[in-house]
Structure 1
Amino acid sequence: MAGCRACPRLVDWREEVARTKRAAFADQTYWGRPVPGFGPPDARLLILGLAPAAHGGNRTGRMFTGDRSGDVLYRALYDVGLASQPTAVHADDGLALHGVRVTSPVHCAPPANKPTPRERDTCRPWLVRELRLLRPTVRAAVVLGAFGWQAAFPAFAEAGWSVPRPRPAFGHGTRVTLPAPNGDDLDVFGCFHVSQRNTFTGRLTPAMLREVLRDAARVAGLPYLEGS
């Protein structure tokens, strides 16, 4: 995956950002490549975002690390007992996830945080492959935002789960059960994205995020902290 160059616009952008950098990170070496999923390969809970941030995952090489969105997500995971620490600063900071894997439908940082539908579809085989590897263990997924929701369901279908038609509409707190032939169903939860736009305006509060994570952890059979 790290060598993928399938989307010229994304390749140009991720590499340009890695060369020019942000002033605050001028002394750092940016990852500047597709960002792989993060977390144990036998996770029971999957968190699916949108794409790496230009100066976050594109810099650190780890999903939702080194940016404001990641600050919110990993703090919430820590608060409910699903992460070893509340911060995600760089790829070697010691952070471990407990039964949770974090990934996205687009693995390269896009300009203005907006991948195109074609880029989403081009990147889908990577997500399908990851889902197939997780199928023996994963029992719940939290999808952050409408873009991730649209991208997730075709990938779930290709990975072997039955997706209803018409596809369920996105909404915060939405829960959809996707049957599997062997009985290992997947419960999919919708959640507003942890973007600054949502968290700064209060559309998504830490309590709302923790509630979705606790519900998903319960379905996945993971231990979590009640009332956190």
Structure 2
Amino acid sequence: MSVAAAKRAKPADAVPAEPPVDCGLCPRLVAFREENKAAYPDYFNGAAPSFGDPKAKLLIIGLAPGLHGANRTARPFTGDYAGDLLYATLGKFGFSNNKYDARPDDGLKLKGAMITNAVRCVPPQNKPVGAEIKTCRQFLNARIAALPALKAIMCLGRISHDSTLAALGVKAKDAPFGHGAEHELPGGAVRLFDSYHCSRYNTNTRRLTPEMFESVFAAIRAMLG
């Protein structure tokens, strides 16, 4: 299915772009959420919503909320190390008002961009299983379809990439993952960009450097104008 086709498909029982906070579709994730409610009663502890501009031309898709990041703050990549690099880079390339301070009340606003996750609830050890990724894909598909101005999708990591392809009906062999890779999606209206995930592990091991990350954003900015 192309992005354009996904936007046109609006059955009466259409899946919402944002799952309910207390989504109960994945038993393992629900059980982990209940554990976290007991351990961290002040955390958000729910299906983390997307964040950004509803008229976004760029959709950034991560893996899942971090336990002490979005699971705590209810905003993607807010409060964990990965957010430091992501939001600094968004600001540098004009996709935000550059007011990130790792708090959901810091006044940050995205401009022409939105951030979501392939899996909306925090998984144990930051590792969702295949069934959870597949179950949550309906919300990813709906999120993509709900962005009328979308021109670019940036996938952070292979799981995000693979789930996005599956959501849009693109075969993995036709759009292989690789840092800096670019793929035209069916219909030609949207282009997919890949990056290694901006996790602390990837940056500490230099698998991903700030310069490598910025190069992907530079390509996106050049494409969007």
Letter in structure 2 aligned against 1:5: G
Equivalent position of 1:105 in the other structure = 118
Q: Which has the higher contact order (CA 8 A, sep 6+)?
A: 2
Superposed counterparts of 1:114-133, under 5 Å: 114-133=127-146
Superposed counterparts of 1:136-147, under 5 Å: 136-147=148-159
Q: Which of 185, 196, 199 is the matching residue for 2:200?
A: 196
**2:208 matched to 1:208?**
no
Letter in structure 1 aligned against 2:85: V
| Structure 2 CA distance for partners of 1:142 and 1:108, relative to 1, 3 Å | same
**2:158 matched to 1:150?**
no
Q: Which of 206, 222, 225 is the matching residue for 1:218?
A: 222
Q: In the aligned structure 1, how far is the partner of 2:200 from the partner of 2:173?
A: 31
Superposed counterparts of 1:1-228, under 5 Å: 1=19, 2-21=21-40, 29-85=42-98, 87-134=100-147, 136-157=148-169, 163=170, 166-180=173-187, 185-221=189-225
Equivalent position of 1:225 in the other structure = none
Percent sequence identity is 41
Task: Provide, for residues 2-42 of structure 1, a one-character-per-residue CA deviation record: whole Å limited to 9, x for no partner.
Answer: 13111111112123223213xxxxxx721000001110111
How far apart are 1:218 and its partner, in Å?
A: 2.3
Structure 2 residue runs of 5 or longer lacking an equivalent are: 1-18
Q: Is the 8 A contact 1:41 1:101 kept in 2?
A: yes
Q: In the aligned structure 1, how far is the partner of 2:24 from the partner of 2:101?
A: 27
Q: In the aligned structure 2, how far is the partner of 1:153 from the partner of 1:210?
A: 23
How far apart are 1:164 and its partner, in Å?
A: 5.2
Is the partner of 1:109 in helix, strand or coil? coil
Q: Is the 8 A contact 1:173 1:212 kept in 2?
A: yes
Q: In the aligned structure 2, how far is the partner of 1:106 from the partner of 1:55?
A: 16
Is the partner of 2:146 in helix, strand or coil? helix
Q: In the aligned structure 2, how far is the partner of 1:143 from the partner of 1:58?
A: 20
Is the partner of 1:166 in helix, strand or coil? helix
Q: Tell me the number of residue pairs that the alignment of Structure 1 and Structure 2 aligns.
A: 206
- Stretch deviating more after TM superposition (199-208 or 50-59): 199-208
Q: Is the 8 A contact 1:77 1:86 kept in 2?
A: no
Structure 2 length as normaliser, TM-score? 0.87
Letter in structure 1 aligned against 2:133: R
